[in-house]
Amino acid sequence: MSQVAKTPRSHDTPSLPCVWYRPWNAGTRGNLSLLERDGICSVAVPVSRMVDSKYVFQITGIKNMQLKLKLLHGIRRLDGKYIGGSIYRDGTTHMIVTCALASEKFLAACASGKWIVTPQYVMDSLKNGAWLPEEPYEVDFIGQTLGAANPIRMWRTKVASGSVSGAFQGWRVVLQIDDLSRSNIFKRSDTKLMYNT
């Protein structure tokens, strides 16, 4: 039986998301070790320690818990890593979504040129016994529109080629927020905040 370690809730240490390294036992505390419920996860490690991992996943927009469990199981079986939490993390290499979204994690992954793949990528890779090429599973929100190129793929290849490092490189942005109580939504550790009173 795998051990379960109690970790702080995400609001206590937002810089330490859960990363899964070892096999999960379905009987361990009623699936809590997989889903970060109530701050319980197995083998939580800072993302900064995953320097050489080629397959580091986050999931966004998938509410079906059975599908999430299957995805997490597949990621682990193929020696991938999973970063939990509601905030996009730089260590991510692959974002799993069912369709294009307006979520922070999805947009950040697009802007930084990460692979945006469907759940089928993990399922088919698991059947194959090894990670498959990502291209056939890359999300395409343009669909079958004649003559239209997939902007997600175009941006990812631009970042991969080294011509840019991210979508908003060098930008300075001003947000006018009428309700200052909602300003925490827009804060990140590397931003400078200026208030106009």
pLDDT tens per residue across all 197 residues of the chain: 333 333 333 333 333 334 443 333 333 333 333 333 333 333 333 444 444 579 999 999 999 999 999 999 999 999 999 999 889 998 999 999 998 888 889 888 988 899 999 999 999 999 999 999 999 999 877 665 555 667 788 888 888 888 887 777 777 777 777 877 777 666 665 555 555 54
**Class for domain 5-167, per CATH?**
alpha beta
**Amino acid 143: pLDDT:** 63
**Amino acid 133: pLDDT:** 96
Amino acid at 140: D
**Amino acid 144: pLDDT:** 52
Q: At what angle do helices 104-111 and 151-161 cross, to 10 degrees?
A: 50
- The full set of domain ranges for the chain reads 5-167
CA distance 97 to 109: 11
Residue 78's CB is within 10 A of a number of other CB atoms, namely 16
Provide the H-helix boundaries in 9-118.
Answer: 32-35, 65-77, 104-111
**Amino acid 81: pLDDT:** 96
CA distance 135 to 106: 17
E strands, 105-150, in order: 115-117
Burial class of residue 165 (count of CB atoms within 10 Å of its CB; 0-12, 13-18, 19+): exposed
Strand partners, 83: 19
